[in-house]
Structure 1
Amino acid sequence: MRRSRAAAVGAVTLSLVLTAAACGGGSSGAGGSNEQPKTLTYWASNQGASIEVDKKVLQPELDKFEKETGIKVKLEVVPWADLLNRILTATTSGQGPDVLNIGNTWSASLQAGGALLPWDAKNFDRIGGKDRFVESALGSTGVEGQDPAAVPLYSMAYALYYNKKMFKDAGVTQPPATWDEMTETGKKLSKNGKWALGAEGSNLSNNIHQVFVLGKQHGADFFTPDGKADFTSDGAVAAVKQYVDLMAKARIVAPGNAEYAQNQSLSDFATDKTAMVLWQTASATFKSQGMNEDEWGVAPAPVQSGKPGQGVSTNSMVAGINMAIFRNTKNTDGALKFVKFMTGEQEQTILNKAYGSIPPVKAAQEDPAFNSPALAVLRETLSTSAAALPQVPEESQFETVVGTAVKELFAEAAAGKPVTEASVRAKLDKAQQQMPKK
């Protein structure tokens, strides 16, 4: 999912809302209207450095769509911190937009609620076919074996970005490739009020992204093969402890980062206060922070040992944004035309260039802009060493309860309290108790 969004909704509330959504979806959107729709409402996720940046990127393209089709699109850019709650409220009230962006990790959860239009073969044909999309991006559009709940719009992956000036000043010649090297390098960089690595301890989704990847590196998935929560396995505990220990034990993350929410770590990176960040597809974001391309470098995110790859060498989740249609829209025909437009080769090239992301549409990836050194690392990661977050209906609850557990552990580390295997396991056990019982 794009950047690091906070899924600020409790597990119990989410469960109730999804149940209500399954019962209350409107029927008018499934078949659409025979009349040509003249207006669509669109909730776009905040992809740029600000909502105003997104409006500047998107509005010319929406105007182009209106000129081509006669359909006006009313745009609202929704901050990540609000987006999931807005969607869940819309599913219960039936008063949602016609088209919306969702983080790809939410696909299975929202699919279970029944609020989104299924992408069966007929609907895919309406937008040019399913085979236009990259397979890895399609893997995060819903539960395997069911019609997807959304289609891919922007693809991303995590990488390690580093501040070249801070590296030079500290005498560091190359970015760390393993976590042991991260600690060793980090101690050289964490001096005189400066810190090696940025984190956002109060950003629940970012917490999940990092501990999910570390979980894979420790052989844990956080869910059993039959979809049951498995938060207290040895691998899951080791993953969470390793992440929090970057502050609690290695002391290469500033204690103040325990309170950081969405994007706050980027300012420190751009102003030479933090030397490294683990981030998704960040070149456009750094530019908006006033950094020139020659001021930062990019490398694959660290692994435990060796080189990135599948299984325990996974170093990123499959990140990205999907585009969905509300099932109860009265403008199904217009919504399908809009999705076709936004996922067309030309628009995919324009939009992904603007956001520094990678097109999930195969033909658009041929543009030379997506072969830059920075994006080459991300493309390689997506193709060889990234894994999709669990595509289970309870994924959003997982982000909330485990993300909160990590947040609380960061707060304890910042306060100087010991973070032990026992304390981590207790937090994760508490989180697991909040999950729906199967």
Structure 2
Amino acid sequence: MSKRHLAMVAAALLTTASLAACGDSGGSSGEAAKTLTYWASNQGASIEFDKQTLQPELDKFEKQTGIKVNLEVVPWSDLLNRLLAAATSGKGPDVVNIGNTWSASLQATGALVPFDDATLSAVGGKDRFVPAALAAAGAPGQPPAAVPLYSLAYALYYNKKMFNDAGIANPPATWEELVETGKKLTKDGRWGLAVEAANPSENAHHAFTFGQQWGGEWFDQAGKPTFDTPQNVAAVKRYIDLMAVDKVVNPSNAEYAQNQSVADFANRKAAMLLWQAAGNNFKAQGMSPDEWGVAPVPFPAATPPGGKRINSMVAGINIAVFKHTENKDGALQFVKFMTSDEEQTILNKTYGSLPSVKTAGADPAFQAPEQKVLQEVLNTTAAPLPQVPDESEFETLVGTAMKELFADVASGKSVTDAQIKEKLSVAQQKMGS
């Protein structure tokens, strides 16, 4: 993907407000040497929670180095667009969090500092990082565009009391069981499952996993999009039908784009949730840890032809440095600080995610039931999204197509295979245009 191509993508995606939000990283070189701007992704239950979590650590870094870090927590619904704007304009923050699935796309802009051997050495060395996490930091055969910060996987969270009250002994292991369970739990103003249906990235993550289970691929071996295959159509329909046909998802979820589904679960408005490391989000919203359980994401009862036993993407957050920074050395010091054993333990404990460095994983906090499920999924039934330059465009186009399909369902319209195929065909045609 060329810089010109990404500039066109960014121009098509970004609103004026998004562009206006991307300012220069600093003033004079002297000021820049003492200041960094950091865009953090929204990992906790709210942006305010993340600010309260991160600010003490940034203050610690300033005390150690004399470098002040100006923090902005960016919602997931805005983050990719703003990163693309910063990449194409050469203006924006010094250090950023990126979804690991976007690594190859942002790498292709040439806007990020490559973590070659010398740069990796400056942040502690390649061997410190979990290999699977580092492998999701850029295109194969190239120096990583970032280093891993938080490691994640999807899991199924369920409300134990609601299950017990309905006489349900175990969490569902198949989609058929999830639908049956969800119907029993959808009553008295409560719903079986909450989804984030207006969040393109969230939609695309499920499209990938369902696609794997239904025998589909979103790109061929040459990296060309294959969105509208029968397998992908069937996979997307299975997910959309949770609201459209099975009616275990509240139609209002078609408007959910930023953690509202987590809030519904935490506030007992929904009995199940598909999410990445959600436990500490629940706690932040007043939900007791003994109220919920966690299990792997379900599979089809009968594996479709060509289907794989995959129930999560290899999820995670990477941390990267923009080349336009006026303080590369300071930015790399900050990356080294954020991936140190101490900070990896503090931050991943808080967010319920898994450390991306090997030596931090031995802490007892990462042996809790939730983390054990996430580790099991990552080690056995997770697959990385394609590390191709067009991956971020896939998330935007396919995820938005699914957002529109959910909106149709919420407005009372039916959604057929033909309509899904048409949406996916249009998305495929837009790739690279």
The question of a shared fold, defined as TM-score above 0.5 by the shorter chain, is answered with yes
Match of 1:95 among 91, 94, 98: 91
- Work out whether residues 87 and 106 of structure 2, in 8 Å CA contact, stay in contact via their aligned partners in 1: no
Match of 1:299 among 280, 286, 295: 295
Measured in 1, the distance between the counterparts of 2:11 and 2:301 equals: 39
Aligned to 1:232: 228
Aligned residues: CA RMSD: 2.3
Aligned to 1:108: 104
Q: Give the drift of 1:356.
A: 1.1
Closer, same or farther in 2 for the Cα pair 1:159/1:287, shift >3 Å?
A: same
Aligned to 1:356: 352
Measured in 2, the distance between the counterparts of 1:198 and 1:36 equals: 44
Aligned length: 413
Aligned to 1:285: 281
- Work out whether residues 227 and 428 of structure 2, in 8 Å CA contact, stay in contact via their aligned partners in 1: yes
- Work out whether residues 196 and 275 of structure 1, in 8 Å CA contact, stay in contact via their aligned partners in 2: yes
Cα deviation code 1:78-132 (max 9, x no counterpart) = 2222222222222233222111111111111110111100010110111111111
Instruction: Indicate whether 1:79 and 2:75 are aligned.
Output: yes
Match of 2:415 among 415, 419, 423: 419
Measured in 2, the distance between the counterparts of 1:11 and 1:166 equals: 49
Closer, same or farther in 2 for the Cα pair 1:98/1:199, shift >3 Å?
A: same
Aligned to 2:3: none
Aligned to 2:19: none
SS at match of 1:193: coil
Closer, same or farther in 2 for the Cα pair 1:34/1:259, shift >3 Å?
A: closer
Aligned to 1:118: 114
SS at match of 1:324: strand
Closer, same or farther in 2 for the Cα pair 1:306/1:132, shift >3 Å?
A: farther
SS at match of 1:313: coil
SS at match of 1:160: strand
Measured in 2, the distance between the counterparts of 1:298 and 1:46 equals: 22
- Work out whether residues 11 and 401 of structure 1, in 8 Å CA contact, stay in contact via their aligned partners in 2: no
Residue type of the partner of 1:288?
A
Aligned to 1:407: 403
SS at match of 1:231: coil
Aligned to 1:64: 60
Measured in 1, the distance between the counterparts of 2:256 and 2:54 equals: 28
- Structure 2: 5+ residue runs without aligned partners? 1-5, 15-24
Instruction: Indicate whether 1:51 and 2:47 are aligned.
Output: yes
Measured in 1, the distance between the counterparts of 2:247 and 2:75 equals: 31
Closer, same or farther in 2 for the Cα pair 1:65/1:311, shift >3 Å?
A: farther
Residue type of the partner of 1:112?
A
Aligned to 1:252: 248
SS at match of 2:379: helix
Measured in 1, the distance between the counterparts of 2:71 and 2:381 equals: 35
Residue type of the partner of 1:279?
W
- Work out whether residues 10 and 85 of structure 2, in 8 Å CA contact, stay in contact via their aligned partners in 1: no
Residue type of the partner of 1:330?
E
Q: TM-score, normalised by structure 2?
A: 0.91
> Could you say which structure has the greater relative contact order, defined with CA pairs below 8 angstroms and 6 or more residues apart?
1
Instruction: Indicate whether 1:331 and 2:324 are aligned.
Output: no
Measured in 1, the distance between the counterparts of 2:162 and 2:32 equals: 57
Aligned to 1:21: none
- Work out whether residues 283 and 289 of structure 2, in 8 Å CA contact, stay in contact via their aligned partners in 1: yes
Aligned to 2:384: 388
Closer, same or farther in 2 for the Cα pair 1:126/1:11, shift >3 Å?
A: closer
**Residues 81-230 of structure 1: pairs in structure 2 closer than 5 A:** 81-230=77-226
Q: TM-score, normalised by structure 1?
A: 0.90
Q: Give the drift of 1:306.
A: 7.8
Measured in 2, the distance between the counterparts of 1:17 and 1:237 equals: 24
Q: Give the drift of 1:14.
A: 3.0
Q: Which sits farther off after the overlay, 374-383 or 92-101?
A: 92-101
SS at match of 2:354: coil
